[in-house]
Amino acid sequence: MSRVLIIGGHGKVALRLAPLLKARGDEVVSVIRDPAHEGDVAATGAIPLVADVERLGADALAALFAGRDAIVWSAGAGGGDAARTYAVDRDAAIRSIDAAVSAGVDRYVMVSYLGAGPDHGVPETDSFFPYADAKSAADAHLRESGLDWTILGPGPLTLDEPTGRIETVDPGRGQVPRADVAAVAAAVLADDSTIRRTIRFGTGEVPIADAIRG
């Protein structure tokens, strides 16, 4: 059994991830900002924990993380406001990484996106730029943290039914169901060959467990 803490526990990926982890016997705590979401999270089998990661400092986050085996970052500002995008997707994510280091939680899985990186190519005039820039910075900080990290880079997300199959060799810009992103997150937590790897993927023909294997 692993003790997994999910940040962004009411998100569409997190709500699909928690039951997968519970089904294999893991203990799951899902961090949420809004107490009104506790029922939805509890229905997944996870333990809801109300905390605003946008406002908590690294020390407070480290206290939340103490005793966990793995952290999954699946939070996001949701776009629309550049300042909040940077506050959540960059600054809070970076604080959570530092907190994991302080708390001695070595395993950290970041849900990012397919095009993230310094060469994301999004112009500053594009409304998507703050998100691309923020994720690039957070991912870079994680890679330099010394943690046992895995960064997930899915293509555009859909609410389609899961396929259980992805493509990592040539993902293109392929869309991928959120349920398959959740399945990939669960799979990498159980596969140490994914440590310190960035896994970019879209929907494909390869079973997830085979596609992520290093």
pLDDT band at residue 119, thresholds of 50, 70 and 90? confident
Interatomic CA distance for residues 125 and 53, integer angstroms: 28
Here the tokens at position 45 are: 């089998």
CA dist 133 and 163 (Å) reads: 30
What is the CATH code for 3-212?
3.40.50.720
Q: Torsion angle, CA of 136/138/139/142, rounded to 10 degrees?
A: 160
Would you state the structure tokens that stand for residue 184, as one six-digit string?
Answer: 């990939």
Domain map of the chain by residue range?
3-212
Q: Which of 98-107, 112-121, 154-163 has the lowest mean pLDDT?
A: 112-121
pLDDT tens across 17-72, in order? Answer: 999 999 999 999 999 999 999 999 999 999 999 999 999 999 999 999 999 999 99
